[in-house]
Amino acid sequence: MQNILITGANRGIGLALTKEYLAKGDSRVFASCRNPAGAAELGALAETNFEQLRVLQMDVTDEASINRAADALRAGTDVLDVLINNAGISGDDHARIMGKLTSTEVSHVISTNAVSSLIVTQACRELLKKGDNPRVVMISSGLGSLARADGSSYAYRMSKAAMNMAARVLAFDEAMAGITTVTMAPGWVRTDMGGSAASLAPEESARALLTVIDGLGASDNGKFYRYDGMELDW
Ligand SMILES: NC(=O)c1ccc[n+]([C@@H]2O[C@H](COP(=O)([O-])OP(=O)(O)OC[C@H]3O[C@@H](n4cnc5c(N)ncnc54)[C@H](OP(=O)(O)O)[C@@H]3O)[C@@H](O)[C@H]2O)c1
């Protein structure tokens, strides 16, 4: 039985990942979200999967909330095998469009997507160290790749490039020795963020991500993968 922590698990890809892990049946999922009272579907799943699913409150932008969630996690398990930093935002026009950018909104997106995933990882480090083949997965984006040559979505793309760098540093930091860290692009997915025209259903993306995550080991440390396991350019 592996222990998994997923951030932003109340909707979209995070909820789909939670469902896939439950369906597989070999995992215990700690599903975190910032407002459990408003997470009806996740709450209903937790009621019917009492042994396999626990919902934790965590706003990834609030360090006190992260620390409370880490305490709750420690109360529920001695080890963490997989951390999936999934929570994210794309930001509004003030984060996206030249001429409308504001420092506040650009910073908010970068902080939510990149800084928070690093702080959540730090809060989970000791539990991960005790895990079986412990893995940290940053849910990034192809839009975070420096190889792309197009102009759009400033803050989101900066945040995902920074998230990718965090994954690289984590992968080679002695303080994280024994923990495999990768960054993954989930594809273009039909969620609130991806929109209805996106090519993948959340469950398709989640199933493929989970297959890759299950197979990760030390030789994958520091790599950037697409949801189907293809290695991506930085
Ligand atoms: N959909 C795509 O096509 C696509 C493509 C590439 C990468 N991604 C990445 O995949 C991840 C999931 O995206 P999605 O498509 O599932 O988006 P989504 O449907 O908009 O869901 C975003 C999730 O992140 C949570 N979240 C946002 N800010 C948070 C905070 N401060 N604390 C805790 N949770 C927070 C949301 O919770 P609330 O309900 O509380 O807001 C929600 O659960 C993101 O990192 C995104 O960048 C998505």
C-alpha 16/C-alpha 202 separation (Å) is 6
Query: How far apart are the CA of 89 and the centre of ligand 1, in A?
Result: 5
What is the domain extent for residue 44?
A: 2-226
Looking at ligand 1, which residue's alpha carbon is closest to its atom 11? 86
Ligand 1 site, residue 112, Cβ cutoff 6 A: yes
The secondary structure element, H or E, covering residue 157 is: helix 154-172
Any atom of ligand 1 within 6 Å of the Cβ of 191: yes
Tell me if 179 CB under 6 Å of ligand 1.
Answer: no
Nearest CA owner, ligand 1 atom 26:
87
Q: Is the CB of 193 under 6 A from ligand 1?
A: yes
What pLDDT score does 152 carry?
A: 85
What's the 193 CA to ligand 1 centre distance in angstroms? 7
Looking at ligand 1, which atom is closest to the CA of residue 188?
A: 3
Residues 224, 184: contact at Cβ < 8 Å? yes
The pLDDT tens digits of the residues spanning 110-165 come to: 999 999 999 999 999 999 999 999 999 999 999 999 998 888 899 999 999 999 99
Q: CATH no. for residue 71?
A: 3.40.50.720
Cα gap 164→13, rounded to integer Å: 19
For residue 162, the CA-to-ligand 1 centroid distance in Å is 17
Total structural domains within the chain: 1
pLDDT of the residue at 151: 84
Res 220: pLDDT? 98
Longest dimension (CA), the chain: 51
Atom of ligand 1 nearest to the CA of 160: 47
Instruction: Name the β-bridge partners of 56.
Output: 32
Torsion angle (degrees, nearest 10) of CA 64, 121, 46, 211:
160
The dihedral through the CA atoms of 211, 215, 217, 219 has a sign that is: negative
> Minimal CA–CA distance to 6: which of 139, 115, 165, 157?
139
Residue 18, ligand 1, Cβ within 6 A: no
Give the model confidence (pLDDT) of 43-97 as tens digits: 999 999 989 999 999 999 999 999 999 999 999 999 999 999 999 999 999 999 9
pLDDT tens digit string along 158-210?
999 999 999 999 999 999 999 999 999 999 999 999 999 999 999 999 999 99
Atom of ligand 1 nearest to the CA of 142: 6
The C-alpha atoms of residue 168 and residue 224 are separated, in whole angstroms, by 9
192 in contact with ligand 1, CB cutoff 6 A: yes
Enter the DSSP assignment of 206: H
Query: What is d(CA 165, CA 148) in angstroms, rounded to the nearest whole number?
Result: 16
Choice between 1 and 157, residue whose per-residue pLDDT is larger: 157
Question: How many Å lie between the centroid of ligand 1 and the Cα of residue 65?
Answer: 18
Q: Is there a domain that residue 42 lies in?
A: yes
DSSP 59: -
> What pLDDT is attached to residue 112?
98
Q: Is 233 inside a domain boundary?
A: no
Residue 54 domain-assigned (yes or no): yes
- Higher-pLDDT residue of 152 and 9 is 9
Which pLDDT does position 52 carry in this prediction?
97
